[in-house]
């Protein structure tokens, strides 16, 4: 092992960095020959593993956006072509971590089953533990060095075939062969962001305060401007909106109590804002993440699209791809909007109507769409834009769905038998999978 070490800089020490270190730990341990590798991880908050957003020190009112049984910190046997795996004890899932923590502490906050929703800070504690474990594995491997730096990266400079990583503290630049940008949740000055500039102007005109990024709640929602006598407007009614509502109420000391009839009533603590107004740009109420039933049997239940396939992309590269150099190798480049997005629309239409009308309809729709699909693959640039191409591809599926829908209406009215076919000849009255 006389070769100069490979230098890797990672900007952002949060969850994604944790996953990267897990793969590196498994890979270097699985090598027969020692590897020369130097890793420097930068994180402004110093919260290595969870990052600032998932900090273990955050408010206890915020919840994770997944049930505990759906969160892991490492590749396992279910990941196709993952490569070397760490031992099972080194890669617990979040549920396994919580069960072990409950056994050690007896704290009911960790007493969970797979369908429970964990608090966000619990996820942060587990991320920190796993991050530290992966760092220990790497540091114990011959030829590997890991340095953690609490610093803000402000620039990258190209120096020949390497990158110089510059930090705000003025420390000497670190020259890296590769840089991973894993900044995760980030925010810019709202007045310079086209999507938020109008909000910044509105806030300035009305002497209001704009909070462009809610996390960490303890810093962004200062009681000085979110306490009694104030009105807080919450743009968005998803998980972050729920976290804000909980933090401004229960997080301040308010409680929910049941009356004699069993109804919940909120008992304020006096530290809440006078009012909280939540609104949504989509106009939709908050809805839960659906349970992933596919996990029962991925091989048979996971959706496999017939149109947006690796073969289709290869064919599009051949017919309309523009010669380019990607990753140092020649490759024909596609335009995502013009060449790929229309196929996504086609898959969405097939999935929607296939669920609505059943597997027989799906097979008929695939056959009906095939001629337009083949024409698109042969010359996707023949269409004015992605909208025209999408309408062309989806039209056969929608026409078939319309015909089936009309026949369903007739069947329900007792006028005729239902038939689904892709053109020509009679069909089984139950061929759409409907009564």
Q: Which residue has the higher pLDDT, 25 or 207?
A: 25
Encode pLDDT of 94-126 as tens digits: 999 999 999 999 999 999 999 899 999 999 999
Q: CATH 3.50.50 spans which residues of the chain?
A: 6-181
Q: What is the pLDDT of residue 66?
A: 87
Encode pLDDT of 289-303 as tens digits: 666 777 778 778 888
pLDDT grade for 419, boundaries at 50, 70 and 90 = low
Residues 6+ apart with CB under 8 A from 201: 191
Q: What is the pLDDT of residue 128?
A: 98
Mean pLDDT for all residues in the chain? 89
Residues 6+ apart with CB under 8 A from 333: 317, 321, 322, 323, 324, 326
Residues 6+ apart with CB under 8 A from 309: none
Burial 55-64 (b: 16+ CB within 10 A, else e): bbebbebbbb
What's the CA gap between 371 and 12, in Å, rounded? 48
* Share in percent of the chain as helix, strand, coil (round to 5): 40, 15, 45
Q: At what angle do helices 120-139 and 15-29 cross, to 10 degrees?
A: 30
Residue 24, pLDDT > 60, answer: yes
Question: Six-digit token pair at 132?
Answer: 């530290």
Other CB atoms within a 10 A radius of the CB of residue 75 amount to 19
Q: What is the pLDDT of residue 435?
A: 34
What's the CA gap between 63 and 54, in Å, rounded? 10
Q: Which residue has the higher pLDDT, 298 or 228?
A: 228
Q: What is the pLDDT of residue 367?
A: 96
Residue 319 sits at the vertex; the CA angle it makes with 313 and 324, to the nearest 5 degrees, is: 80
Encode pLDDT of 155-200 as tens digits: 999 999 999 999 999 999 999 999 999 998 777 788 888 888 898 9
Q: What is the pLDDT of residue 163?
A: 96
Other CB atoms within a 10 A radius of the CB of residue 173 amount to 15
Q: What is the pLDDT of residue 257?
A: 94
**β-pairing verdict for 231-235 and 178-181:** unpaired
What's the CA gap between 33 and 10, in Å, rounded? 24
The verdict on pTM exceeding 0.85 is: no
Give the gyration radius of the chain's Cα atoms: 27
CATH of domain 6-181: 3.50.50
């Amino acid at each position: 092992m006389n070769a100069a070490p490979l230098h890797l800089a990672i900007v952002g020490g949060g969850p994604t960095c944790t996953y990267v270190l897990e793969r590196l730990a498994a890979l270097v341990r699985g090598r027969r020959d020692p590897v020369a590798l130097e890793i420097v991880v930068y994180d402004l908050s110093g919260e290595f593993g969870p990052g600032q957003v998932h900090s273990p020190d955050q408010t206890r009112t915020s919840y994770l956006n997944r049930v505990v049984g759906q969160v892991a910190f490492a590749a396992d046997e279910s990941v196709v072509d993952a490569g070397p795996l760490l031992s099972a004890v080194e890669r617990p899932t979040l549920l396994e971590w919580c069960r072990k923590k409950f056994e050690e502490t007896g704290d009911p906050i960790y007493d969970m089953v797979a369908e429970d929703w964990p608090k966000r800070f619990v996820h942060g504690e587990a991320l920190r533990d796993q991050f530290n474990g992966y760092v220990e594995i790497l540091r114990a491997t011959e030829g590997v060095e890991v340095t953690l730096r609490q610093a803000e990266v402000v620039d990258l400079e190209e120096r020949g075939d390497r990158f110089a990583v510059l930090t705000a503290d003025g420390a000497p630049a670190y020259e890296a062969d590769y840089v991973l940008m894993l900044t995760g949740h980030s925010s810019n000055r709202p007045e310079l962001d086209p999507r938020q500039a109008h909000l910044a102007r509105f806030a300035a005109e009305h002497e209001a305060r704009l909070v462009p990024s809610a996390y960490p709640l303890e810093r962004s929602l200062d009681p000085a401007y979110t306490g009694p006598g104030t009105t807080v407007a919450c743009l968005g009614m998803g998980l972050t909106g729920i976290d804000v509502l909980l933090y401004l109420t229960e997080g301040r000391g308010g409680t929910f109590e049941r009356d004699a009839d069993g109804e919940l009533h909120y008992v304020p603590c006096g530290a809440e804002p006078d009012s909280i107004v939540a609104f949504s740009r989509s106009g939709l109420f908050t809805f839960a993440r659906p349970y992933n039933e596919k996990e029962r049997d991925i091989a048979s239940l996971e959706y496999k699209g017939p149109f947006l396939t690796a073969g289709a992309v290869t064919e599009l590269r051949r017919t309309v791809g523009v010669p380019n150099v990607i990753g140092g190798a020649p490759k024909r480049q596609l335009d995502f909007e013009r060449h790929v997005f229309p196929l996504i629309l086609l898959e969405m239409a097939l999935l929607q109507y296939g669920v609505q009308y059943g597997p027989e309809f799906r097979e008929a729709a695939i056959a009906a769409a095939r001629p337009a699909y083949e024409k698109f693959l042969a010359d996707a640039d023949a269409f004015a834009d992605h909208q025209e191409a999408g309408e062309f591809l989806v039209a056969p599926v929608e026409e078939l769905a319309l015909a089936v829908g009309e026949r369903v209406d007739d069947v329900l009215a007792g006028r005729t038998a239902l038939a689904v076919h892709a053109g020509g000849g009679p069909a089984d009255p139950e061929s759409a999978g409907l009564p």
